[in-house]
Amino acid sequence: MKALLLPGLDGTGALHDDFCRALGLDCEALRYPKNMARYGDLGRHVAEHLPTDPFVIIAESFSGPLAIQVAASRPAKLRAIVFVASFARAPRPAPAFAAKALQWMPMKSRLACQMMQPAVMGRWANRKFTTTLWAALKTVPAKTLAARLDQVLRVDETATFGAIDVPMLYLRATSDRLVPKAAARPFEAAGASVQNIDGPHFLLQAQPDAAAAAIRSFVTALGVEAAPASD
């Protein structure tokens, strides 16, 4: 089975090398167009890149609502969805200007990336990841990041769960400072299994082995033989 990884707010797919190696499946981290922010547009982009072999979607944070939309269209080869530190509706209330303010924040500086570490990585923060995050954020326009955050603050896909007919797993980071524990409830109510993993919001980056093990166990339980990663 293949794994299609839908990345977080940055949309670069550049933060998942360690996780994809740990997963051991044929894992592709999709890259979003740098100027694309709306969930509807991104959904069409993802639909154009769905594997032709049986696959599982792994949706990180920002991409949770996107994965719900895509799965609701019932792709023929989709076998399951894994949501990682994600949400089906806006995870926290925030003023409308919060997203626009992001355009003026110096997020692309190395100092800003270092200051983000307590929120996104907590005690798992390290210099290597700061450098990787900095390199990724430098490639994405601030307007795109702001527009994607605006989508997060407006989204509500809870009613869409009814159209999904594949198994779901939700990985909840126990030390997530961005997405509250309650964000898992709509997934659980829709029939998803919820598994806690000790880690921060950037769970796949901080705990790649633990997250990969949980996902492989979930995939194995589906009764579909997992295809190893191609050389």
pTM over 0.85: yes
Query: In a 3-state reduction of DSSP, which class is residue 89?
Result: strand
Task: Give the per-residue pLDDT at 96.
Answer: 56
Q: Which long-range contacts (CB under 8 A, 24 or more apart) does 192-196 make?
A: 192/83, 192/168, 193/167, 193/168, 193/169, 193/218, 194/169, 194/170, 195/169, 195/170, 195/171, 196/172
Query: In a 3-state reduction of DSSP, which class is residue 24?
Result: coil
Task: Give the per-residue pLDDT at 95.
Answer: 54
Q: So what CATH class is 2-91+155-221?
A: alpha beta
Ranges of the chain with pLDDT below 50: 226-231
Task: Give the per-residue pLDDT at 98.
Answer: 55
Task: Give the per-residue pLDDT at 118.
Answer: 81
Domain assignments of the chain as residue spans, ordered by start: 2-91+155-221
